[in-house]
Amino acid sequence: MDLLGLVHLSVVMMSMVTAKRFIDQMQYEDHQRLRNEQFKILSNNDPRRSQQVCTRLTRDPYFSIDMLVGQTWRIYYVWNMELPKECMDMTFRNATRKIIDRIYKEMNEYLDVEPYWDTASVLITMSRARHEMLLFPDPGAAGSFHGVPNIIRDSSIRRVAPPKMTVPLLRFHLKLLYAGKYLLMADCQLGVTTLSARRRAVSTRTEIGGIANSLNFGPGHFACQFDLNKNERLR
């Protein structure tokens, strides 16, 4: 399932996982090329555990879009994924009418279920390839979203676009930790979870590892291992 890593990260957190299903179904010749990508989602994920992680995060929600927008967040720790060397950055923007209209035009005919487009609240852009996901708040706990991955705009899988009316909405939960210094982002279907910090914030790997252990999400991995503070080492 290493292809899922590429597909998931094409949005973010985590999350172009639907593209793998389409590639499997259509047996594209590009399959082997995509499988060689370095991002790997681990194959031992239990769907029930994925939902349990999101359920735990909703019990004590802490989320504010205003604390995300205008900042660049870097993923430093991951669960159910291997991302050792690659530094993956995310930016958040308020969903303007221009952004909503553009993604509607690009993705509407590929979705199996349409969201209520006017309720879109934030656009996530990830990595140098500018992968995108448009998020729509779910009722209930703050930080719960469903999302439209902009697969058509994604340069890495543009040649293997899915059939029309087949792309499902994805589900995520976002939670800010320690007064907004850290961001947890969990994929409620795959169980891929990431712990991020602002690029300009000073965060040590000791602190990040301590937070990760305190969450009790099971075995995880440091990401972006070359981005260390001066005189800092990974143990």
Q: Is residue 155 part of a domain?
A: yes
pLDDT digits (tens, 9 = 90+) for 57-102: 888 889 999 999 988 999 999 998 877 677 889 999 999 999 999 9
What is the pLDDT, as a whole number, of residue 36?
32
- AA letter at 108: N
Confirm if 136 and 94 have CB atoms less than 8 A apart: no
Q: Is the pLDDT of residue 33 over 60?
A: no
Q: Is the pLDDT of residue 156 over 80?
A: no
What is the pLDDT, as a whole number, of residue 25?
42
What is the pLDDT, as a whole number, of residue 95?
96
**Exposed, middle or buried, 191 (CB in 10 Å: 0-12/13-18/19+)?**
buried
Q: Which domain holds residue 123?
A: 2-222
Structure confidence at residue 45 as a pLDDT band (50, 70, 90) = low
Stated pTM of the model: 0.77
Structure confidence at residue 20 as a pLDDT band (50, 70, 90) = very low
Q: Is residue 204 part of a domain?
A: yes
Structure confidence at residue 55 as a pLDDT band (50, 70, 90) = confident
Q: Is residue 227 part of a domain?
A: no
Q: Is residue 232 part of a domain?
A: no
On the CB side of 90, CA atoms within 13 Å amount to 30
What is the pLDDT, as a whole number, of residue 147?
96
Q: Which residue do the tokens 């440091």 mark?
A: 222
Q: Is residue 75 part of a domain?
A: yes
Q: Is residue 176 part of a domain?
A: yes
Q: Is residue 151 part of a domain?
A: yes
Confirm if 102 and 120 have CB atoms less than 8 A apart: no
User: Which three-class secondary structure state does DSSP give residue 65?
Assistant: helix
Highest mean pLDDT, choosing among 22-36, 134-148, 216-230: 134-148
Split into its structural domains, the chain has a count of: 1
Q: Which residue do the tokens 């007064």 mark?
A: 179
Mean pLDDT throughout 167-194?
92
Mean pLDDT throughout 210-216?
93
CA distance 182 to 194: 10
Q: Is residue 229 part of a domain?
A: no
- CATH number of the domain residue 47 falls in: 2.40.128
Structure confidence at residue 157 as a pLDDT band (50, 70, 90) = low
Structure confidence at residue 161 as a pLDDT band (50, 70, 90) = low
Residue 20 tokens, joined: 């793998």
Strand partners, 89: 74
